[in-house]
């Protein structure tokens, strides 16, 4: 019994520092450790803004990838699920860059409320959710469970500029 208790305490002494590091590290540190780097945020190319804040709620316009790095094409025709996942991940990095521009620090994000993912796809493509996981998984990397959101992943016959993935989001802020 003493050995079992000692083993339990030893396990806790190893696990608690690891858990504390995850809690104390910033979203940008977690992203960097995972091998991601934020791009320069995108500027609007039409008559809209990339974000709008109301109180503690931040609304992100539909995003493609930043720096002209959108993956182009149609899922189920030009691209497969893994390429779509990568496209959604690039869109997520751009969205994170916009959040940082809007509020100055990703640590000000309390939680991600909603993600609306649009996938340019053939009529018979049915893996929209797996594609948008690229965006969602990135946000969970940055924000942990607070990065999980109510979500839609839908197919579209086309998206602006022939981009394969576009995502809009609603974020709750701490301040």
String of DSSP letters for 1-14? -HHHHHHHHHHHHH
Distances in whole angstroms, Cα of residue 131 to Cα of each of 66, 146, 159: 18, 20, 15
pLDDT at 62 over 50: yes
- Beta-strand ranges (E) seen in the chain are 51-54, 57-63, 109-120, 150-156, 165-173
Report if residue 4 sits inside a domain. no
What confidence category does residue 2 fall into, taking pLDDT thresholds of 50, 70 and 90?
low
Is residue 19's pLDDT more than 50?
Answer: no
Q: Is residue 19 part of a domain?
A: no
For residue 52, being part of any structural domain is answered with yes
Mean pLDDT of 32-61: 95
Confidence of residue 21 (pLDDT cuts 50, 70, 90): very low
The length of the chain in residues reads 175
Strand-pair partners of 166: 118
What CA dihedral angle connects 85, 34, 167 and 84, to 10 degrees? -10
Residue 161 pLDDT > 80: yes
50 falls within a domain: yes
Q: What angle do CA 47, 83, 39 make, to 5 degrees?
A: 50
Instruction: Give 52 or 68, the one with higher predicted confidence.
Output: 52
Using a pLDDT cut of 90, give the percent of the chain over it: 80
Q: At what angle do helices 128-143 and 81-103 cross, to 10 degrees?
A: 40
Whether 98 and 60 have beta carbons less than 8 Å apart is answered as yes
pLDDT range class, residue 67, cuts 50, 70, 90? confident
State the total domains in the chain.
Answer: 1
Give the residue numbers spanning the domain of 61. 26-173
- Looking at residue 156, its pLDDT comes to 98
Is the pLDDT at 9 greater than 70? The verdict is no
- Tell me, what's the pLDDT at 49? 97
Above 50 in pLDDT, residue 14?
A: no
Whether 164 is in a domain gets the answer yes
- N- to C-terminal Cα separation, the chain: 48
Banded pLDDT at 23 (limits 50, 70, 90): low
Residue 166: per-residue pLDDT: 97
Burial (0-12, 13-18, 19+ Cβ within 10 Å), 93: buried
Q: Write out pLDDT tens, residues 71-103.
A: 999 999 999 999 999 999 999 999 999 999 999
Q: Do the domain assignments include residue 99? A: yes
Mean pLDDT across the stretch 129-137? Answer: 98
Q: Say if 8 falls within a structural domain.
A: no
Q: Is residue 2 part of a domain?
A: no
CATH of the domain at 97: 3.30.1330.40
């Amino acid at each position: 019994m003493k050995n079992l208790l000692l083993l339990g305490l030893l396990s806790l002494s190893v696990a608690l520092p690891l858990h504390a590091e995850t809690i104390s590290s910033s979203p940008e540190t977690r992203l960097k450790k995972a091998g991601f780097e934020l791009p320069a945020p995108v500027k609007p190319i039409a008559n809209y803004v990339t974000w709008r804040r109301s109180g503690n709620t931040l609304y992100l316009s539909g995003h493609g990838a930043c720096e002209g790095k959108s993956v182009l094409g149609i899922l189920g025709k030009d691209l497969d699920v893994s390429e779509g996942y990568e496209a959604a991940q690039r869109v997520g990095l751009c969205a994170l860059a916009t959040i940082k521009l809007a509020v100055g620090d990703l640590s000000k994000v309390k939680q991600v409320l909603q993600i609306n993912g649009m996938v340019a796809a053939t009529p018979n493509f049915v893996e929209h959710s797996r594609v948008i996981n690229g965006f969602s998984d990135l946000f969970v990397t940055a924000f942990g469970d607070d990065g999980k959101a109510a979500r839609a992943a839908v197919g579209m016959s086309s998206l602006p500029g022939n981009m394969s993935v576009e995502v809009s989001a609603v974020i709750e802020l701490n301040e």
